[in-house]
Each structure stands twice: as structure tokens, then as C-alpha cells.
Amino acid sequence: MLGLNKKDTSLLIVVAFLTLLAPFILNPFPEGSAMAQFNAGYPDLMQRFVIFGIFAIGFNILFGLTGYLSFGHAAFLGVGSYSAVWMFKLLSYNVIPAIALSVVVAGLFSLLIGFISLRRSGIYFSILTLAFAQMSFALAYSVLSNPKFNLTNGETGLQVYADDPQILQGANAPDLPHLFGLPMRATYTMDVGAWSFDFNAGYYLCAIIMMIVFYLSIRIFRSPFGMMLRAVKSNQQRMNYTGLNSKPYTLAAFVISGMYAGLAGGLMAAMDPLAGAERMQWTASGEVVLMTILGGTGTLIGPVLGAGFIKYFENIFSKINDNVLHSWFAFLPDGLEDAVVFVIHPFIGKGWHLTLGILFMLVVIYLPGGLVEGGQRLLKRFKRKKKDTDDAPSGKTEPAE
């Protein structure tokens, strides 16, 4: 199917199932219940799941296949966002031209940075990419916000104003990002008993795009080009000794990865037409590294799982405060309730990074292959138990022949 083998087709179907039915899967608890705090089926968060999933998929093409660790991919995310907002300002709020421009500009920018950075490997390559990202952040934050040629609007962020040209914006077109008239914020809410499910146009646009780029990543992984990238990761020096020049392959992987990041940045602007320099900070680059390692470096679905895992913790655990904890443990005696809240307090709210750090440490120590390895271990254990059950003696005796 679509040029994929049976295993990859099954994986693509699983990803499509999870993304299309996310409003149901991410809202398991009834509205108004104490556990509704852990629901994640609202549009803003679902959009972040798939957008950062795209970002991580692209990063994994570089890091997972070639072993080149970039600490500067946030630069392409920011460039994509700025490009999309400028398209909104100059042409119209239609998201298709904005997303296309974000991919093209990010690809050109990554070609320039990759051509220079890939002259070195290992830690030197990582430092070069980090330096370029920080220079990009400084340019966006101060230099390019100069009133003479205000391209980024500095710390305020680039946004669309009423006096912007928007030469293709029709009189009846929505005054916010839209897909040929369908606003990205359009949301249909379906109430089923005590449950409420939101179906958002922007989320489904991002979800469809993520399925497309996930399919493309599978084709890259299974192609001869992907095999050459694995050879670079395995032993680039030996590859060079055979007479094969690895530079074009690594540069192509870097550019493809940068285009994925630019696409993610363009989608972020399409969901919220604002671009700020903070998207280029080194912390954003470090975040995608964590997503990829946490999910499973070099695996297909791992980066998507890692992105969802981190964004879930960022948005759900960070909202839990002492009042929520007291409501959960109100059944305990007063002294014990206060003690439990005191113990848990450092791990929630603003301290959610501590919880994430502990979980990341446990995954790296006990699951070097990330969440994907954990799932594979559980599946093997389940199959082993099932096999042992099937092979167990039934208690019946057969007569000897």
C-alpha cells in the first residue's frame, strides 16, 4: 500500500487512527470530574501535539539517521513562523501560501547553515549549529527589529495589523488565518452525556499534514538514500575510504530536516498569527532533542510519542496547583493531607520540569531506546505470556499408540 511494506502500512494506519480520533482518545474523563484535569482534548494542545510531532520527525531524519546532533533547529522553526506571518501581512490570511513560503525559506536557510556547519562533525558540528541559532535569535530580537527595516518587531513579535497591504485578502474573507474561507479556529463541539469533544479545523489541517510528512519520513527511512545516511552514522570514515562522498547526503538530510522545522513553524503561525524571537532560543532546540531521545532515536513513531509526552506534561502538569491537590486528597485527615500536598508540590505547577527530568532520566537509564523500546518490551512480554498459556498442558491424556 502506497509503496510501503505490511509493517510500515500498519504503523501509518495506527498514526492516522490516533491523530484523527484524538478528540475522543485525549478526553477520557467526564467534564467536571476531578480527573478532567488530565484531559488533553482541547484544540490548542492537540495542535501542539501534531506540530511538534512534525518538528521532531524532521529532526529525527538528521539525528536518527546520520547521528549528527544539531542544537540549532529552533532557528528554522522561527524562520518558518516569521515567513508565514509576512505572507499574511503582504498577501492574505490564506494558510496555504504562508505554509509553502515557510518551507521554502527554511530550506534555503538550512542549506546555508548546513553547508558551513557540516564542514565539521561531532561536538564541533553541534556547537556550530547552536552558534547559528543564537545568532539568529539575536538578529530577530534586536538587529532586524530596527525601525528602518523592521522584519521581526523585536520582543513584541511580528503580527498582522489593519494597515498591512494584504493585497489578495478578499472583502468577505475571515480576518484570521483560514483555508479558502474555513477559519482555523472553527470548532465544532459534540456533547455526549458528561463528555465534551472538540473538533477543530486547525487541528485537522495539522493532523493531515503530519500524516503526509510521516509517510514521507517512512519512505526516506526505507529508501537507498536512507541507507546511505545510516552508513554515515555507522562509520563515515570507512564510507569515505570506499570513494563515496558523504557530504551531499548529510547536507540533503540537514536541509530536509530544516524544511520540516520550517513547516512546523509555519503551522504555528497559521494557528496563531504571531511570530516571536523566543521560538529561536536554544531551549526550543534542546526541547526537540529531548522529544526525539525520549520517544526513541532512529525509530519512526518515537519522535511523535516523545513530542506528545513532553507537551502533555508541559500543559497538564504545569496547571496543577495546591488547590487542585487539596481537592484530590480532601478525604485524608487534615495533617496528613497537608503533608501529602507538601511532598507533591515541588513536582507540579512551575516545578513540572523536575518531574519531566526524573522521567527522562529513568527512560534513558532503563529504556535506552525510548518509549518505543518500552512498548516493544511490553508487547514481547504479552506475547510470551500468551504463548506460555497456549503451550500449557490441557490436563487431557492421550492413549499411547
Summarize pLDDT for 145-162 with one digit per residue, the tens.
Answer: 877 777 888 888 899 888
Q: What is the three-class DSSP state of 162? A: coil
CA-nearest of 56, 112, 125, 109 to 285 is: 56
Q: What is the three-class DSSP state of 197? A: strand
Q: Is the pLDDT of residue 210 over 60?
A: yes
Which range is most confident: 66-70, 170-174, 281-285, 361-365? 66-70
Q: Is the pLDDT of residue 321 over 70?
A: yes
- Could you tell me what percentage of the chain is helix, strand and coil, using 3-state DSSP and rounding each to the nearest 5? 70, 5, 25
What is d(CA 106, CA 50) in angstroms, rounded to the nearest whole number?
Answer: 19
pLDDT at 401: 41
Do 286 and 324 fall within a single domain? no
Which range is most confident: 100-104, 244-248, 323-327, 336-340? 100-104
What mean pLDDT value characterizes the chain?
A: 88
Do 148 and 205 fall within a single domain? yes
pLDDT at 113: 95
| Segment 9-33 mean pLDDT | 90
Within 134-253, strands assigned E span 158-159, 178-179, 182-183, 187-192, 195-200
**H or E segment to which residue 378 belongs:** helix 370-391
Q: Is the pLDDT of residue 265 over 90?
A: yes
Q: Are strands 182-183 and 178-179 parallel, antiparallel or unpaired?
A: antiparallel
Any domain includes 119: yes
- The number of distinct structural domains making up the chain is 2
Do 215 and 336 fall within a single domain? no
Query: For the ranges 146-150, 256-260, 311-315, 332-336, which has the lowest average pLDDT?
Result: 146-150
Residues near 184 by Cβ (< 8 Å), separated by ≥ 6? 95, 176, 177, 178, 200, 201, 202, 205, 270, 271
Do 278 and 381 fall within a single domain? no
- Are 58 and 256 in contact, with CB atoms under 8 Å apart? yes
Q: Is the pLDDT of residue 398 over 70?
A: no
- Are 326 and 317 in contact, with CB atoms under 8 Å apart? no
Do 266 and 382 fall within a single domain? no
Confidence category of residue 255, pLDDT binned at 50, 70, 90: very high
| Segment 342-369 mean pLDDT | 85
Residue entry with cell 480527573: 35
What is d(CA 88, CA 99) in angstroms, rounded to the nearest whole number?
Answer: 10
Q: Is the pLDDT of residue 223 over 90?
A: yes
Any domain includes 194: yes
Do 245 and 338 fall within a single domain? no
Q: Is the pLDDT of residue 169 over 60?
A: yes
pLDDT at 70: 93
Do 339 and 266 fall within a single domain? no
Q: The C-alpha cell of 120 is what? A: 565539521
Q: Which domain holds residue 342?
A: 320-389
Q: Is the pLDDT of residue 259 over 70?
A: yes
Do 359 and 214 fall within a single domain? no
Any domain includes 310: no
Domain CATH for 285: 1.10.3470
Any domain includes 314: no
Do 235 and 286 fall within a single domain? yes
pLDDT at 390: 67
| Segment 301-311 mean pLDDT | 92
Q: Is the pLDDT of residue 108 over 90?
A: yes
Do 268 and 212 fall within a single domain? yes
Do 333 and 239 fall within a single domain? no
* Single pTM value for the model: 0.91
